[in-house]
Structure 1
Amino acid sequence: MDDEEARTRLLDAAEALFYAEGIQAVGMDRIRAESGVPLKRLYRLFPAKEALVAGYLERRDRRWTGSLRAAVTAAPADPVAAVFDWLAAWFSEPGFRGCAFLNAYGELGAGGPAAVLDPVRRHKAELRALLADALPPGPDRGELAEQLLILVEGATAVAALAPGPEPARRAAATAAALLRAADGRAG
């Protein structure tokens, strides 16, 4: 097995275990056992657990944000509705356990290692930018993106407690009302 395959196997194991059980509940020896990568190679590729956690979050961000962006791009007539449709599908996936980034932040807190908290903050900034891009141009675009971010995060937190599409559907209805109100103010 070369380093790229070992890295992929380690990140696959880390993602499955950290997302399902939590970062602090899973040790490096468990990651080694699940991945089949020798401990010496694990520590050569990821010298500390925080490097592995950061790698897991960065990879998850690329995949998650890329998938959401593709859904929004594919729905030019109503990109905001596409956000909530995508969330409804995600909330219905087997094993859904909420937002990996908020889960990591919740476990580690504001004083956690920067190597881990930086990907969390970048992810939320990327999500905010994606939401702004989904909105029509206008003077309230930044404020509306912030409000949509709160709806997305709130729906995700509610769905973590009761998985299924309903939190996304309720948030979508709220987003539509918010956009209608903003359009009325602009007109």
Structure 2
Amino acid sequence: MASTVRRPSRVAKLPPRERILDAAEELFQREGIRRVSVQAIAERAETTKMAIYRHFATKDALVAEWLRILAADYQAAFDRVEAEHPDRPREQILGLARFIADGLPEVSHRGCAFINSLAELPERSHPARQVIEEHKALQTRRLVGMCAGAGLPDPEQTAAEITFLLEGVQVSTVNGSIDRTGDRLMRIIEAIVDRHRSPGDAPRADTD
């Protein structure tokens, strides 16, 4: 058999810790947390199990760090809409809804990483589960603040309604029970944030 020259991979160009996290994300998303072994992550990252354990004491710690990074991406979406729409909480809420709607095509293939992970991590003491719970609690507090800023009555109740929609739309997208989920989500969220406006309080058009 003729020999072939192996070209350097993209993975090999990244620092070891980033290679490990990238490999873990790909495998966890595709196959689930429980089914993926540390050895499989090492092979995908083109490293060794020993190298992984130098960066992460346990597989659980690696899972928790992956979800911590993912949670930070979602919190960054809050930061972004607040920066894009200062002092305009209605537009901030709609911006968050748009962020979720735009991500639905990817969710349709992989599902929500948080929901998938919770299903695999029933132990409340698991460090990765704690990361998710803390992230969701912070997300709720920030959404309540936006609802209060928008002058919506009972901000906690309204934030709960919006949260149910943002999370439920991802499940409906995965199972295919509803079509045009992104468009429908935006219409429902707009109805929620506008239902307490008086006829003279037409929403201001964005000029960004």
For the superposition of Structure 1 and Structure 2, which TM-score range results when normalised by the shorter chain?
Answer: 0.7 to 0.9
Deviations, residues 20-70 of structure 1 (Å, cap 9, x unaligned): 211011111000001112211211211211111001100111123213531
Over 3 Å counting, the alpha-carbon distance change for 1:113 and 1:163 in structure 2 is farther
Aligned pairs, number: 181
Seq. identity, %: 25
Please state if 1:124 is matched with 2:136: yes
Matched, 1:167 2:181: yes
Q: Taking structure 2 as the reference length, what is the TM-score of the superposition?
A: 0.75
Q: Distance in 2 between matches of 1:56 and 1:128?
A: 21
- 2:28 aligns to what? 18
Match of 1:154 among 168, 182, 187: 168
Q: List alignment gaps of at least 5 residues for structure 1.
A: none
Task: Tell me the TM-score normalised to structure 1 length.
Answer: 0.83
CA contact (8 A) 1:91 1:165 kept: no
Structure 2 alignment gaps of length 5 or more:
1-13, 202-208
- The 1:118/1:165 distance shift into structure 2, 3 A limit, reads farther
Higher-Rg member (1/2): 2
Matched-pair contact (CA < 8 Å) for 1:72–1:80: no
1:29 to 30, 35, 39: 39
For 1:92, what is the secondary structure of its paired residue? Answer: helix
- Looking at structure 1, the residues matched to 138 and 116 of structure 2 have their Cα atoms a distance apart, in angstroms, of 17
Q: Structure 1: how far apart are the matches of 2:79 and 2:174?
A: 22
Higher helix share: 1
Measured in 2, the distance between the counterparts of 1:100 and 1:89 equals: 16
Q: CA deviation at 1:95?
A: 7.3
Alpha-carbon separation, structure 2, partners of 1:104 and 1:83: 22
